[in-house]
Amino acid sequence: MVSARVPDEMETGELAVHIVSDKGAKDHVLLLARHPAGVRVREWHSGNWSTGPEESVVSANALLTRLESVVRSRQRIEPDVRVVRSWLTATPP
């Protein structure tokens, strides 16, 4: 599959991250957005799929620490944590 850059008019500045667990029991979906105080995180998991996300603002370091911990526990992250790190350090358009 060829990956192409999203056209500017479709770019939201957000990054979706899927934490994939064994058999999906502990899957999480994070929607990340830049925020003046860090990273805005909207998070869905099995307890709130139908009611809406939990929302928080965390530091980039705290987010990376969490995601690296997930990887160490043998869960998969899509996109890879390196992509998230790159997104966090990129200058927004």
**Mean pLDDT over residues 61-80, rounded?**
92
pTM of the model: 0.81
pLDDT above 90: residue 24 = no
Quote the crossing angle between the two packed helices 81-89 and 60-72, to the nearest 10°. 170
Indicate whether 81 pLDDT > 60.
Answer: yes
The torsion angles phi and psi of 45, rounded to 5 degrees, stand at -150, 180
First to last CA, the chain: 26
Would the pLDDT of 9 be above 80? no
The phi and psi torsions of 27 (rounded to 5 degrees) equal -65, 150
Within 8 A by CB and 6+ apart from 13, the residues are: 33, 34, 92, 93
> What SS3 state is found at 71?
helix
